[in-house]
Amino acid sequence: MTHIIGALFLRELKTRFGKNKRLGYFWIIGEPMSHIIFFLIIFTLIRARSVPQVPFEMFLVTGFVPFFMFRNIIQQIMAGVSANLALMAYKPVKPIHIFIARALLEVCIYFTVFVLFMVGFGWFLDLPILPMNFLEVVIAFIGLAFLGFSLGVCLAFLSSELEYTQIFINYGINILYFASAVLYPLWILPNHIVDVLLYNPILQFLEILRENYFRGYPHIPGVSFIYPFSFSIIILFIGLWYYYFRYKYLGRIK
């Protein structure tokens, strides 16, 4: 299994960056950078850049980059089988291998982008680079990738069986973009709104990442690893249960 996933990983890497490396590298760096620059300008104009004891540029990086990784894992998994139908003729290759390979590629890409952004901003702006609790930051980053993988497996089957599902999923991801505290610190919101938003596991992973990256970042009661990881495991169990019965039809159902 590991050999198959490794081969698929290298194939996906070549497909992603092989034909036009410069364009691929530019898009990976350029998309989060364009969002960061845009909102830096907006928040500067409205004089709302201050996040206590947290460099605002790095605050945005810890929101945008992990969220884009989460989004891309879902989208890449959903499109994985249709993009690799020729490989499905080989019996050793299963849809789950494609799912894992694509998810691992997104994690490697966006973890590298995350490090580059943090080092870059730290060097240019003379800001501290190292996280306060490195292990917890890595666990939160991987946890968000795990959540994206779990949802991607479920939605891959849903999009195969129900037409136009992709449109609604994209709308849902756009809503989560604003409901996951990517752009703003959670503590500025009223408590009754925070209580509702805490049901969002993406938000919890992002808050855990920020709490453990920035020294002095306020802790929000109710934020912990227990809920988002439990949610991810349940979703993955549902996806794998459905995969067990329906994987032979994945990519053929319309």
- Write out pLDDT tens, residues 91-145: 788 888 989 999 999 999 899 989 988 998 888 888 888 899 999 999 999 999 9
Q: What is the pLDDT of residue 210?
A: 94
Domain containing 187: what range?
2-249
Apex 28 CA angle, 25 and 30, nearest 5 = 95
Residue 253 pLDDT grade (very low, low, confident, very high; cuts 50, 70, 90): very low
Within a domain: residue 254?
no
Q: Looking at residues 166-189, what average pLDDT do you find?
A: 89
Q: Looking at residues 11-35, what average pLDDT do you find?
A: 69
The region of weakest confidence among 5-14, 82-91, 116-125, 203-212 is 82-91
Within a domain: residue 156?
yes
| Calpha distance 163→159 (Å, rounded) | 7
Within a domain: residue 104?
yes
Within a domain: residue 83?
yes
pLDDT(199) > 90? yes
Within a domain: residue 92?
yes
Within a domain: residue 47?
yes
Q: Looking at residues 56-69, what average pLDDT do you find?
A: 90
What is the count of structural domains for the chain? 1
What percent of the chain has a predicted confidence (pLDDT) above 70?
Answer: 84
Q: What is the pLDDT of residue 245?
A: 76
Q: What is the pLDDT of residue 254?
A: 44
**Residue, of 46 and 44, whose pLDDT is higher:** 44
**Residue, of 43 and 150, whose pLDDT is higher:** 150
Residue 213 pLDDT grade (very low, low, confident, very high; cuts 50, 70, 90): very high
Average pLDDT of every residue of the chain: 84
Within a domain: residue 158?
yes
Question: DSSP letters of the chain?
Answer: -HHHHHHHHHHHHHHHHSS-HHHHHHHHHHHHHHHHHHHHHHHHHTT---BTTB-HHHHHHHHHHHHHHHHHHHHHHHHHHHHTGGGGGSTT--HHHHHHHHHHHHHHHHHHHHHHHHHHHHHHHT---S-SSHHHHHHHHHHHHHHHHHHHHHHHHHHHHSTTHHHHHHHHHHHHHHHTTSSS-GGGS-HHHHHHHTT-HHHHHHHHHHHHHSTTPPPPTT--SHHHHHHHHHHHHHHHHHHHHHGGGTTT--
Within a domain: residue 37?
yes
Q: Looking at residues 235-240, what average pLDDT do you find?
A: 92
Q: Looking at residues 62-90, what average pLDDT do you find?
A: 84
pLDDT(69) > 50? yes
